[in-house]
Amino acid sequence: MNNQLSSLKPALLWKHFEEICYRPHPSKHEEKIQEYILNFAKTHAIECKQDSVGNIILRKAATKGKEQASRILLQSHIDMVPQKNSDVNHDFHQDPIIPAIRDGYVISSKRTTLGADNGIGVAAMLAVFEHQAHEIAHGSLEALFTVDEEAGMGGALGLKSGLLQSNIMLNLDSEGEGEIYIGCAGGLNTNGVREYTTVEIPQHYSMYDLAVVGAKGGHSGLDIPLKRANAIRLMARLLTTLKERGIEFKIYSFEGGTLRNAIARECFSKIALPTSKGKDLLEAACELQKHISFEYAQSDPGITLNATVDANINPNLKLMSSEESILFVNTILGVFHGMKNAIEGMPLVAETSSNLGIVSAKNGKIEVRTLQRSAVESQKIEMAQIVRATMELGGFKVTHDSGYPGWKPNFQSKALKVASEIYEKIFHKSSKTMVTHGGLECGLITSVYPHMDAISIGPNIHDAHSPNERVEIASVERFWSYLLELLKQL
C-alpha cells in the first residue's frame, strides 16, 4: 500500500478507507473486507458477531457519563459497484483500487469506480470504533456492516430480528453534505431472456463493428433525472435508423451496460449487412452522431458513435436473421428507460423511474436486465408491468427479483430534529431534509426493527457507480465533525 491518503484528515478515517480500497470487494465478493473488519475487531478487543448472510455487527459500550444516552447503530454496506471503461485493464476481483488526490477530491487512479460509495461510511465507522473512550463521547454503539447492497440488498434482506439493540440508526450511505435523508425509493428488477435461431452470413455481406462510448453513465437512481445518455438506447437508435432507411442487417452480437443499477456508458455491436450498403451505414452513423452531440451537449459532451468495417470475415459466424434483428431492436428501443415523473416540488428527484441496465445478445441467446424504482409502491409495480409487457411483446420470458420496499419518511423523527439542530449549530446554516431515489437499506432494516428511528447522512460523493466517482476531501472532514457531534448529542 502506497499511503496516498496519509496526509488527509481525519487520519483514521482515511487510513481505513485506503485499506478498504486495496482489498477487492465487488458485490457478492466482500470476503477480504469481512476479514479486515473481523481482524480489526479482534485486534481492538471489540465485541463482534457475524450473521448467516455475512453481515458483521460490532458493539462498543457507552463512554463515561453517557450510559443513559440513546443506543446508536451506525450502518454502511461493504460492497462496491465495479465499473470501468472498456479500454481500462482492471480485474475487480483481484486488483486493488489505487486512490489518488486530484483538485480537492479523492479519485481512482485507474479510471474505475472508487468505492467511496460506501467505503467512506465503512471507514468512518471503523474510525469511530478505533478511537479511545476519552476521545469521542457516545452512548452505547453498534456498527452494522452489510453485504451485497448494490446487487439487490441481500445483506439487509437477510437480516434477522434479535441481533440489534439500538433505538437510533445513522446510515452513512448518503452522498450530499448538508442533506439529511429520511426516506428512499423501493426497487424491483425486471429481467428478460429469449433464444433465437441463428443463420449463416450470406454472400456479398460485410461485417461492421459499432460502438457507442464516452457517455458519463452514473447512478441509476440519483443521476436518472439528469437525462444522461444511455448507450444501449443510442445503439438501438442507430440500428432503427438502418431499418427505416431500408438497409437490411443481421446482428452477430450486442453488448451494452454492465450493471442493472448503473446507467449504461458503453455499447458494442457487430452486424452484417450487404457490402453495397456500407456507405449508407457510415452516413447514418455520422448523421446520428450529429444529433446525439446536440442532444447531449450538456450532460454527455464526450459521447461518440463509431462504425468500422471488419475485414476479417468468419464464414462460420452465427447471426440473428433480419426479422429477428428487427424484433430485437424494436423491443430494446421500446423498453422504458428514464424518469417517469419527479416528486412534486422536487424536479431533480425522481419519484418513479426505470433503468435499462444490461443488454447482451450472442450465440442464440438474448438477456436484458432492468431496475425499476419508485417512492410509491404501486407505481413501482406499474413500471415493472410496463417493462414486462414490452419484453413479452418481443417474445421474452420475463422474471422479477430482488424487490425491496421503500423507506417511508418520518417527519416527526427525533433523530432528524436533533441532527438538523446540530448541523445549524456547527455550520451556521440549515440542513435540508430529503428523500432519495437511490436505494438505502434503512427501510429494510427498520421493517425488522420498527422501533428504530433512522436517518441517513454522508459527505459529497459525485458520479457514484461510474469511473468518474470522486469524494470531496474537505467535505469528508466536515462530515466527520458532524458525525462526532451527533454521537455526542443524540
List, by residue number, the catalytic residues: 79, 149
Q: Tell me the C-alpha distance between 290 and 288, whole Å.
A: 5
Give the DSSP H/E element, type plus range, for residue 68.
none
Q: Which residues touch 109 (CB under 8 Å, ≥6 apart)?
A: 98, 99, 100
Which cell numbers in the block locate residue 167? 433505538
Give the CA distances from residue 250 to residues 200, 336, 361, in Å, rounded to whole numbers and listed in that order: 10, 24, 12
Q: Tell me the C-alpha distance between 267 and 282, whole Å.
A: 17
- Chain CA centroid to CA 393, Å: 29
Q: Tell me the C-alpha distance between 122 and 124, whole Å.
A: 5
Which cell numbers in the block locate residue 174? 448518503
Q: Tell me the C-alpha distance between 299 and 303, whole Å.
A: 10
Which cell numbers in the block locate residue 42? 479482534
Q: Tell me the C-alpha distance between 172 and 125, whole Å.
A: 9
Angle at 327 between CA 321 and CA 330, to 5 degrees: 140
Q: Tell me the C-alpha distance between 162 and 164, whole Å.
A: 6
Which cell numbers in the block locate residue 187? 426497487
Cα torsion 250, 256, 260, 263: sign:
negative
Q: Tell me the C-alpha distance between 81 and 461, whole Å.
A: 14
- What's the length of the chain? 490
Q: Roughly what angle, to the nearest 10 degrees, separates helices 473-489 and 414-427? A: 130
Give the CA distances from residue 422 to residues 70, 182, 191, 425, 451, in Å, rounded to whole numbers and listed in that order: 16, 16, 44, 5, 23
Q: How many C-alpha atoms does 120 have within 13 Å on its Cβ side? A: 35
Residue whose C-alpha cell reads 420475463 in the numeric block: 398
Question: Could you tell me which of 124, 230, 100 has the C-alpha nearest to residue 173?
Answer: 124
- Residue 139 carries which DSSP code? S
Nearest-Å Rg of the Cα atoms of the chain is: 24
Under 8 Å between Cβ of 419 and 457: yes
Q: Tell me the C-alpha distance between 104 and 475, whole Å.
A: 10
Q: What are the backbone dihedrals phi and psi of residue 4, each rounded to the nearest 5 degrees, phi first?
A: -65, -25
Q: Tell me the C-alpha distance between 52 and 66, whole Å.
A: 32
